[in-house]
Amino acid sequence: MVSRRQSIHGEWSSRWAFILAATGSAVGLGNIWKFPYMTGENGGGAFVLVYLLCVAVIGIPIMMAETMLGRRGRQSPINTMQTLAIEAGHTPRWHFVGWIGVLAGFLILSYYSVIAGWALAYVLRTGTGVFTGATADGVEAIFSDFVSNPESLLGWHTLFMAMTMIVVARGVQGGLEKAVKFLMPGLFIILVVLVGYAMNAGEFAQAMRYLFSPSFENLSPEAILAAMGQAFFSLSLGMGAIMVYGSYLPHDASIAGTSVRIAIADTLVAVLAGMAIFPLVFAHNLEPGAGPGLIFQTLPLVFGHMPGGVVFGTLFFVLLVFAAWTSSISLIEPAVAYLVENRGVRRSNAAVIVAGACWALGLLTVLSFNVWSDVHPLGMFETFKDKTPFDLLDYLTSNIMLPLGGFMIAIFSVWIMSRDASRDELDLHEGWEYPAWRFLVRYVTPVAVVTIFLNAIDAI
């Protein structure tokens, strides 16, 4: 039977292993670094409400579709899309959807590793008391000196990429699964401890009002689009990670049940991160909409002036590293799987090749914060006049490649793949569950994704 294909890479030992791995893929800097500052920039509670709606209407249906395609194909995203297209009687050129995902993951990891390297560096800086008693200008100077030093950024980028490569080289159960079984529980424990700390040391009631009291007058169309895009980015959709992880999913595991659990866990981490961060920000009368600097400038200032700040600040950046690490191994896995399947490369060698190429591309991001900070490759366009190579990579992947990949996954799963095949793989009841999923993926989700995509194109 077609649906009983076996992956040459092995399988997760259980559905919980898949849930931990896929949640680890979804939970990353997008939850702990990006979600809090986007909430701050876009008015708080109303943004959170729209984000949750987008996760339910866009995120979960596409995650189910991407997992379904992965498990049915049992190969890398490129080969899975080609195999399933042929199975459905269509052109094998649908493999380009897999290429979009693999390339997007590769590009994202190239700059993701650099930012994760910042978190590694800040574990050391916070743990050694560098920020204790520092002024706002002092913290800003420390950050500025750090990012303006390409050698330092390169060293931390190299260390983080090596950490990622080592895990992936060890295989599905020996590397990926063992890593997430340690990292994900550790991440949740640290996050809960930090929320408890924020409840006692910060303005918790004010933060809760900010996060959960909707202020719709501050909700602009741009903020709604940002929430849609963030839901997409946060759940690791459209970048091949969920598809390749789905290819290792045991056949008796419920795709719908695991997708809902992953989305809930991912959203819980994002909300808990806000609950840990904003009470401390408000306690020191700082600006919640401080942008990316909220994590690397505002919070070090906060931890430097609070009782136990060294310990809890260090825990926070360890949390950030854990989140980035679990995501990075999922970003590199699709390309590694492709090399193993199509080029006959040993997994360990494939991990070295992909990590090395990704590390080299990461030099663009390293230099974007210092030597090339005034370099704007597409400066002839108004939208891109101030964007560095790093900014362009982030824009290309987050606003164009991921929505495009997600749109094509939605189209393929309900317009190309047969109804019998998708119903068989999802194992949903015909009463309302399967028709509801099919309606969302067939009509609602594509419209929402196209809206994000056209907005990004129009901005050019």
Q: Which of 333, 389, 291, 261 is nearest to 38 (CA)?
A: 291
**CA distances in angstroms from 257 to 79, 82, 132, 253, listed in the order given:** 26, 27, 45, 8
Q: Which helix (H) or strand (E) element contains residue 158?
A: helix 150-169
3-state SS, one letter per residue, for 394-439: HHHHHHHHHHHHHHHHHHHHHHHCCHHHHHHHHCCCCCCHHHHHHH
- Per domain, the residue ranges of the chain are 2-459
Give, as one character, the DSSP assignment of residue 344: -
**How much is the pLDDT for 196?**
93
Contact by Cβ (8 Å): 268, 28: no
On whether the pTM is more than 0.75, the answer is: yes
Tokens representing residue 160 in the block: 């983080």
**How much is the pLDDT for 460?**
58
Q: Which of 17, 50, 12, 451 is nearest to 267 (CA)?
A: 50
**How much is the pLDDT for 3?**
46
pLDDT-flagged residues of the chain (< 50): 1-3
Q: Mean pLDDT across the chain, nearest whole number? A: 89
Q: Assign 3-state DSSP to the chain and report helix, strand, coil percentages, each to 5.
A: 80, 0, 20
Contact by Cβ (8 Å): 210, 289: no
Amino acid letter, 300: P
CA distance linking residue 211 with residue 205, whole number of Å = 10
Q: What's the gap between Cα 174 and its chain centre?
A: 23
**How much is the pLDDT for 1?**
43
**How much is the pLDDT for 88?**
94
Tens of pLDDT, residue by residue over 207-231, are 888 888 877 777 787 788 788 878 8
**CA distances in angstroms from 109 to 13, 52, 363, 424, listed in the order given:** 26, 26, 12, 34
CATH of 2-459, one of 1.10.287, 3.40.1350, 1.10.4160, 1.20.950: 1.10.4160
- Residues 419-427: contacts with CB under 8 Å, at least 24 apart: 421/2, 421/3, 421/72, 421/87, 421/88, 422/68, 424/3, 425/3, 425/68, 425/71, 425/72, 425/255, 426/64, 426/68, 426/255, 426/256, 427/254, 427/255, 427/256
Amino acid letter, 4: R
Contact by Cβ (8 Å): 190, 318: yes
**How much is the pLDDT for 459?**
59
Give, as one character, the DSSP assignment of residue 174: I
Sequence-distant (6+) residues with CB within 8 A of 249 are: 11, 12, 15, 18, 67, 70, 71, 255, 258
Tens of pLDDT, residue by residue over 136-150, are 899 999 999 999 999
Sequence-distant (6+) residues with CB within 8 A of 245 are: 18, 21, 22, 25, 67, 70, 330, 333
**How much is the pLDDT for 456?**
64
